[in-house]
Chains A and B, each alone.
Chain A
Amino acid sequence: MTQPDTVNLLEVKDLHVHFRSEEGTVKAVDGISFDVKQGETLGIVGESGSGKTVANLSLMRLIPEPPGEIVSGSIILRGRDVLKLSASDLRRLRGKQVAMIFQDPMTALNPFMRVSKQLMEVTQLHLGHTRVQAREHAVKMLEHVGIPDASERIDSYPHEFSGGMRQRVMIAMALSCQPDLLIADEPTTALDVTIQAQILELIKRLKAETGASVILITHDLGIVAGMTDQVIVMYAGKIFERAPTGELFQNPGNPYTRGLLRSVPNPTDEQGQLYQIPGQPPDLARLPAGCPFAPRCERAEEICRREFPPFVQLTSEHSSLCHFANEVYAASKTVS
C-alpha cells in the first residue's frame, strides 16, 4: 500500500438518500458519513440492499430522481460540495475528476459504437483533445491496461472482446483523464477468479502509478482484505462499522461484521458446519424498531429491539454501531 498523505479528497457528511415507493419511503442510505484520503483505497462491504451502491451513485449524483432523492447531507470533493454543483459543473466532474467502473462492462459500453470512438469521446470532451491526439491517447490507455495489439483492436466493438478484456476497456476509459477518485462497484463479480486476479492486480498497479483514490464496493471479504486500506461495513442503509482493514479483520467491533467474517469458508478450516447468520437481510420499507440487525444478532438483548444503537468510537480510527460495541471489541481481542 502507498503511504496516504492526510489530505481528505472526499468528505461525505450525514448523507440521506430516500426512494419513494408504493410501500412508503425507503431510506436506502440513512445518514452515513465517511471520508477518503488522497491515495487511499476505501472498501465498502455489504449485502444486497445495504445501500452501498446507492451511496456511491449519489457521490456522482447519478441517482434517478424521482423516485430517488438525496434528502440531505453534503459531499465535499476537493473542497466543493457536489450536491450544490450546476448541471454543467457536474458534467465536468463526471469522468474527469471522478470515474466509475461497474460490474458488467456491457452496461457501461455502447454496443453499437467502436471502442475507439467511445474512448476518444472522453478525452475530446474533458481534455480538449483533437481526434488525432484522442486516438493516440486511447491506444496508449488500452496498452496500459494490458490489451494486446491495442492499435488494431481499438476499432473493435465491445462484443468482440471477452469479459475480462471488456472490463479492461472500461478501466482504460475510466482512467483516461486521470481522475482523482475511481469508484469501482463490484468490478470483478462477473469474472472468473483467474481473470479477477488479473483485474485486481491491474487496479492496484494503476492506482500506485496515478496516486488516485479508490472506493471499492464488494461483497467479497477476500478482495477487501487484499485491496483496501480502510473498510466500511454497511447494513440497512447505515454504516455498521468502520476501521482500518487490518484492524477490522483482526478485531471486529460489531456482531454483524464478526458474523460475516465467520461465515466465509476459510481455506485452512476443517469442513463441517459453517457458521451462519440466521434470517434474511431486512426489508428497508419495514425496518424493525431498534437496531436493524437485532432480529439476526446472536448478541442482541432487550435494549437492541427497543433503542437504536449508538455509533461507538472504539479507537481514533475504529467505530461500530452497536449497543455492545465495547464488549464485542474486547471479546474479539481476547479471541485473536
Chain B
Amino acid sequence: MAAQTLYDKLWEQHLVKQRDDGTALIYIDRHMLHEVTSPQAFEGLRLANRQPWRLDTNLATTDHNVPTTLAERAQGNKGIKDPISLIQVQTLDDNCLEYGIVEFGINDPRQGIVHVVGPEQGATLPGMTVVCGDSHTATHGAFGALAHGIGTSEVEHVLATQCLLTQKMKNMQVRVEGKLGTGVTAKDMVLAIIGQIGTAGGTGHAIEFAGSAIAALSMEGRMTVCNMAIEAGARVGMIAVDDTTIDYIGNRPYSPTGEQWEAAVADWRELVSDADAAFDKVVTLDAAEIEPQVSWGTSPEMVTGISGQVPDPKAASDDTVATSHTRALEYMGLSPNQKITDIHLDKVFIGSCTNSRIEDLREAAAVAKGKKVADNIMLAMVVPGSGLVKRQAEKEGLDKIFIDAGFEWREPGCSMCLAMNADKLGAGEHCASTSNRNFEGRQGYGGRTHLVSPAMAAAAAIAGHFVDVRRLPANDETLAKKA
C-alpha cells in the first residue's frame, strides 16, 4: 500500500462513498454545537420533518453570547440582558431538549467555549472526524482527529445524515524544528507560521503540524497551534498521536475505559503519517528563530516579532498588498516604521478558544504575579475557557494573582474574542488580545486588536505597552520551566 499521511488515513477510515465526480460522503463521529450557527439548522430539520440520525455524537454548549460577569451569570439565562442574545441561547436549550441532545447550559460547571469543552471532556478523541459550525474546530485536530468548521447548512446535513458531502483536500506539512526560546509559546509559533505562509497559504489543504518543536508542545499548546490553522487558510490543522496525546485523554468523562481503552490506544498509535508519505506542500520553520509575536494589522498575517516595527506600505511586494497595508495602518491608527513597543494600549483580553486553557492562564499568571496593571490600561480581563478551567485555576490560586494585579476574573465564554456579548472594545481602542482574529471591528466597532500570547498579554498589561516577555525578570518558575 502506498505511504499515507495522517490526513489520508483519517479520510480513508471515514469514507462512506466516493462519487465519480470527486465528491465524497464522509462519516462524522463527533458533532459539537453552539447557539449561533445551529438555530437555522434545527429549523430546517423541523421543516423537513427529519430527525437527528444519531443522538450520541452531538454535544452542545452555549458560549458565544453568554455574559461573563458573576452577577449576570448568577441569574442563568435571565442574566443575558440583550433580548436577541437571550432568544438565541434559549433556542439552543429548547432544541437540545426537544431532540434529546446533551447540552452544557449556561450554569453547568462543564459549560465553556465549545473547543475547550470537547477535549476537556474526552469527547474529542484521536481518529475521530469532528465538525462544528465554527471555523476554529480545527483545534480538535491536535488529537490526531480530522476536525474542521462547517456552515449551518452542513450542521443540518450532519444532524440529518451523520455525514458530510465534501471533497478531499490536499496535504500540507508545516514543520517546526528545534527548540522554542524561553518565554516563546505555541501562540508565537502559529502566528509566525501565519506570518510566513500568509492568510491564504493553506487554502485547499489540510495542514499537518510536525517537527520536534511541535512534538515538544503540551496538548494545550498543540490546540493553540491547530486552532489557528484557519487563519492560515486551512480548514484542517492536525498533529500526529503520541504519548502526550494519549496521556491527556486518559480518565476523562467521555474517554473509553477498560478493554475499549486498550483497543483504542492500539488503534490511535497508527495515527501518524508514514515516514515516506508525500505532501503536496511542505514549509519548514526554525523554532529558535521565532520571537514573541505581535500583530499590527487587520489580518492575522500582518504580524511581526516584538523587536520589529510596523511595515511601510511603500515596501510592499505588490499593489494589492500595499493597498491592504495602507488601509490597515489607517484603521489601526499606526504609522509606517512605528516600533511595536511604542504602540499605545487601552485594554487587555486573555481568553478565547485559542488561549483560555489552564496552561495559558498559568503562563499569564506567572508574568502578572506580584505586579499591577498599568494605569493606562482601562480594562484587563481574564476569561477562562470553561467552568472546569476556571475551577482548576482557582484551585491553584491563579484567580487571586490576577485579581491582586488588577485584572478582572470572569466567567467562561467566547467573550471579547468576537464581542457578541457585552465584552467589547470601544472605537479606536487598542487591545492586546490572546484571541485569533484582528479583523476590523472583530472585538467591537472600530476596535483595534493586537494578537499575542497569554504571557505577552499579561506583560503588556503590567507595562502598559508591548514588552519583550523574554526580558522580564522571572518572578516564577513557570517561564523558566518552559525552556
A binds B: no
Instruction: State the A residues within 8 Å of B (CB).
Output: none
